[in-house]
Each structure stands twice: as structure tokens, then as C-alpha cells.
Amino acid sequence: MKNELIDYKDFLQRISDEIHFFCKDFFPDEFVLSTQITLKFVLLIFLIYLLSFILKNGINLIFRFFFDKEKYPVMKSIYKARVTNSVASILALGFGNYALFSIFYRHPKSFVFLERMIGFLIVWAIANMAFRFIRVLQTYYEIQKDYYKILAINSITQTVKIFGIFIFSVIAICVIFGIASSTVLGSLGAITAVIVLIFRDTILGFVTGIHVATSKNLKPGDWVAIPKYNIEGNIEGIDLLTTKIKNFDKTISTIPTYDLLTTEIKNYQVISDENTRRIKKSIVFNMKSLKFVNDDLMNRLKRINLIKTYLGLKEKEIEKERRSMENPDEIINGTQLTNIGVFRKYVQNYLNNSDKIDQKEIILVRQLQSTPEGLPLEIYCFATEADTEKYENIQSDIFDHLLSAAKEFELDIVQKV
């Protein structure tokens, strides 16, 4: 093996010598040295590029056999992130560093410059490979459709890139100027406070991204409302520094990502996921229209199918109670039905019999505290459709019916002027 390496080195030296003497024979003396170095440099670059090209195509050809994302998602992720290209570039540059002496052995003064240049390119290739490895994780979890881990990796990725660029820049400077890395790293302690101050939002965004990913409270695509900023829409993306939200009016809002830790956020995504959405709305009645149900009104209400059975049972209970009661002719004595109470029962039965209302969820019809405007009757239930258009149609149909039905109970609805 050693002899082969020597032969290989001698082969490069022979090519270098051919270039060396060719320039000496055919170029003026004042241009010989510069031409020799230039042509040898072109040869070195050509050899590095050729080896890189061969390695890239060879490695990628192997990876294409593992292109099935179902069987080999890791291989698929590495291939898509082009890590193989970075590996080929590092190997080719390593060869260039090895071949440097053989090609430029007649020009030892150029060694320092060329070694530092190739060293810089190797640092750049390693940095590029490191960042592509992060992309491997993103691609892998995109294939797995694990959106919470994608969110965490996105936060980590941007943080690592920022600090990675800083660290690799320090290493590259050390390589280019021949500075001992210990000298540079020794001075980092003095500028730590400045770095923390500069990257304050970055650090907060990183912590927020990890918190959001681990708590699984938010993810891109979720329907959210942020009262502090009067924002409601879908999360377009959560980056290290900013979170982008597409409002329902098609505008885009951005907020600092660290606000996700400190600001009240309502996540309505469960509504879409479960395809159910709450209805909570009131009808306000004029209190002067509230009254007991007399015989005439009772006879008319008993013709309404949804409360016919209820009224029949209540009528029997009232008649039985009045048999043993003093002054049974006075309507105020004993149990008596009111038009608002019967209407409340009607609304309850109407909702219980509607296929547009989720019967598994709570269905509540209740009186709220009376106000100077009147007596509010609140309907609290859940529609079977979460889509905004369908939900609004269901809600409108319900209240169209109830507002019209209230007249049958001789109830007046308050109209503000």
C-alpha cells in the first residue's frame, strides 16, 4: 500500500514537472513563475472537482437503491438533504490537501496560502454537511408526519444555524490567518454577555419552540385567536423569532414567537378536529310580555307537537293540585305555567330533536340575569358542523325559527332603537 501511494505521488509530481518545464520553455521569464503556479492551481482544482463529481454520482447511485421512503425513510432523508454531496466534497478536499505537496513541491512558498485556502474550504464543507444533517431530521419527520417534532426541530435548527455560523466563522478565521483556536476561544468568555444580549430574542424563541413542541398546544395549521393583538386565523408557521398567522380576512399578522409563552392564546383547532362548534347566544324578551298561561293560550299551545305531551302532563298535575286548594279559581295560587317557561321547554325540545345539534354535548336553555333591556334567554349547545359557513347557517336557521316561534307564546322580543 505504501509503494502504491508513493507511485501515485510520483505520478502527480511528473504531471507537475511537465507543467513546470512547459512553462519554462514556452513563456517569457517574467511570466514563467506566475504561469506555473496558475496552471498547477487549475490542475489541483480540476482534480478536486473531478474526484468530487465521481464520488457524488457514485454515492448517490448507491442511495437511489434505498429511495423507497416507506422502507428506508432515513436513507430517503439523507439523500434529499444532499448530505452525500457534502461527504463527497470533504473527501475530495481531503485528497486535494494530500495532493498539494506533490503538485506544488517546487514552490514551497505557496504551501501556506494553499493549505489555508483548502483548510477554509474543508471547514465550509463540514459546516454545510452539519446544516444538511439538521435538514435530514426535518425531512425524516416530514415523511413521518410528526408535526410537533418538526416544530421543535425548526426552533432548534434556526438556533443551531445561528450559533453554528458563529462557531464555524471563528474556526474559518483561525484557519485563514493561522490563529490558534485557543486564543479566540479564550476571549469568548469576555463577550458572553454581549452575545446573550444580541441573541436574547433568539434564545427566547428557542425556549418557546421547545415548550410549544413538548406541550403540543400549538402547531402550524391550527386555528387560533389572540385577544391581545385582536388576531384570529390559522398559524402559517412558527419560526425562531416570529410566528406568522393568516387572518380570516386574508391578511398576514406576525408576532414575536416568545409571546406564545406569555400571551393568552385560544386554540380552536379542536373544533375543526372534532367537527363541532359551540353556539352561545341569547334572545332578550320584554318583561311586560311575561304572563301565566290561561286556558285560551293553553288550548293553542297544545297544538304544538314538540310540547303537546309536556303540556298534557303539566295540566293533569295542576288539576290534581287544585282539587284540594283554597281559591282554585285564582290563577296565581299553586303551580302554574308561564309563557316564558313553556317557551323554554319548547326550545329545549326543539334543540333535542334537531339533527344539526350535537346530541352528545350539553344542550342548555337558561334564563340569565334580567337587565334594563329585558330578560335574556340563552341557548347553549354545539353545532354538528365546524366549517364557518355551515356553522353560521345552522345558527341562523335556529334563531330564525325561535324568533318567529316566540310570537306563538305571546312573547315580545326587545328591539333596541
Mean pLDDT within 3-13:
52
Of the listed ranges 89-93, 141-145, 332-336, 363-367, the one predicted with least confidence: 141-145
pLDDT cut 70: percent of the chain above it? 74
Q: Mention every residue, 6+ apart, whose C-beta is less than 8 A from residue 198.
A: none
Integer Cα distance of 330 and 1 in angstroms? 119
Task: Give me the phi and psi of 378, to 5 degrees please.
Answer: -95, 135
Q: Packing angle between helix 83-104 and helix 29-64, nearest 10 degrees?
A: 150
pLDDT bin (cut points 50, 70, 90) of residue 192 is low
pLDDT bin (cut points 50, 70, 90) of residue 323 is confident
Integer Cα distance of 409 and 44 in angstroms? 97
pLDDT bin (cut points 50, 70, 90) of residue 215 is low
Q: What are the start and end residues of each CATH 2.30.30.60 domain in the chain? A: 220-272
Integer Cα distance of 301 and 136 in angstroms? 70
**Which residue matches cell numbers 409571546?**
259
Sheet holding 231-238, edge to edge: 252-256, 242-247, 231-238, 223-226, 266-267
Integer Cα distance of 201 and 207 in angstroms? 10
Mean pLDDT within 359-378:
91
Reported as half-sphere exposure (CB side, CA atoms, 13 A), residue 351 has a value of 27
Q: Are 307 and 339 in contact (CB under 8 A)?
A: no
Integer Cα distance of 335 and 316 in angstroms? 11
Helical (H) or strand (E) element with 235: strand 231-238
Above 80 in pLDDT, residue 28?
Answer: no
CA-nearest of 215, 217, 203 to 156 is: 203
Mean pLDDT within 256-283:
77
Pull the grid cell for residue 317: 298535575
Better-predicted residue by pLDDT, 208 or 93: 93
Integer Cα distance of 241 and 257 in angstroms? 5
Question: What's the pLDDT score for residue 413?
Answer: 92
Integer Cα distance of 170 and 189 in angstroms? 14
Question: What's the pLDDT score for residue 127?
Answer: 80
Residues in the chain: 417
Q: Are 220 and 238 in contact (CB under 8 A)?
A: yes
Better-predicted residue by pLDDT, 47 or 357: 357
Instruction: Report which listed range, 2-6, 38-42, 195-199, 406-410, is most confident.
Output: 406-410
Question: What's the pLDDT score for residue 416?
Answer: 58
- The three-state secondary structure class of 105 is coil
Above 60 in pLDDT, residue 363?
Answer: yes
Above 90 in pLDDT, residue 24?
Answer: no
Q: What share of the chain is helix, strand, coil (3-state, %, to 5)?
A: 65, 15, 25
Of the listed ranges 23-32, 35-44, 90-99, 125-134, the one predicted with least confidence: 23-32
Q: Mention every residue, 6+ apart, whose C-beta is less than 8 A from residue 119.
A: 97, 175, 176
Pull the grid cell for residue 65: 437503491
What average pLDDT does the chain have? 77
Integer Cα distance of 294 and 318 in angstroms? 12
Distances (CA, A) of 165 to 123, 146, 170: 11, 28, 9
Question: What's the pLDDT score for residue 375?
Answer: 92
Residues paired with 371 in a beta bridge: 374
Q: What is the CATH number of domain 220-272?
A: 2.30.30.60
* Rg (alpha carbons) of the chain, rounded to whole number: 40
Integer Cα distance of 240 and 161 in angstroms? 11
Above 90 in pLDDT, residue 350?
Answer: yes
Mean pLDDT within 345-354:
94
Write out pLDDT tens, residues 114-126: 777 877 888 888 8
Better-predicted residue by pLDDT, 364 or 160: 364
Mean pLDDT within 43-66:
79
Of the listed ranges 93-97, 309-313, 342-346, the one predicted with least confidence: 93-97
Above 90 in pLDDT, residue 235?
Answer: no
Distances (CA, A) of 242 to 139, 267, 391, 402: 22, 18, 32, 46
Reported as half-sphere exposure (CB side, CA atoms, 13 A), residue 318 has a value of 22
Above 80 in pLDDT, residue 288?
Answer: yes
Query: Whole-prediction pTM value?
Result: 0.48
Above 90 in pLDDT, residue 104?
Answer: no
DSSP labels, 240-278: SSEEEEEETTS-EEEEETTHHHHS--EE-HHHHHHT-EE
Q: Are 285 and 340 in contact (CB under 8 A)?
A: yes
Pull the grid cell for residue 303: 297544538
Better-predicted residue by pLDDT, 307 or 2: 307
